[in-house]
Structure 1
Amino acid sequence: MENCSNYELYTKLTATSFASGLVSVAARHELERRADNGDGEAKMLLELHKLQPAKKPLHGHVVHSINPQPRKRKFIYTLRMKLGD
């Protein structure tokens, strides 16, 4: 991680799996270390990452749908025949 440029570390900040999550933590720590040592670009990239909107979670499934289906209605018809008099 120490040999990577600031932009390479910035691109690794977004995780897509468990393994890349570990890489993103290491990249964030390296950028924070560089920012603490006076690297302005690393500090700017960390602030830029904080401003990005959060992405969807990578795990789980929808338990309840947002738009539930309307209830189906059942109609029962009764037919009566009238005999002629």
Structure 2
Amino acid sequence: MTGQGSGHTAGAFDIRTVIALLFAVYGVVLVVVGATQPQSAVDKAAGLNINLWAGIGMIVFAVVLVGWARLRPIVVPDEARTPTPEP
């Protein structure tokens, strides 16, 4: 791409940002559920608080996606470029 500087970034409309938001919301819900569930529920899962660990993993994944979107933004051209027909 020759016009690297021309255009603007996708910003909030970048699919990575949208997916990161969804993972972050679900991750926070799972962390809250995992932190408040009784010990008897943890004992049923072989002593592993899977809701808590899955929520933490989802939040970490969301942070990675946001970091990726910020470090390597998608550049949207300002105007649609149409190839000029050759004579």
Structures share fold, TM-score greater than 0.5: no
Return the structure number with greater strand share. Answer: 2
TM class, shorter-length: 0.3 to 0.5
Q: Which has the higher Rg, Structure 1 or Structure 2?
A: 1
Structure having the higher helix fraction is 2
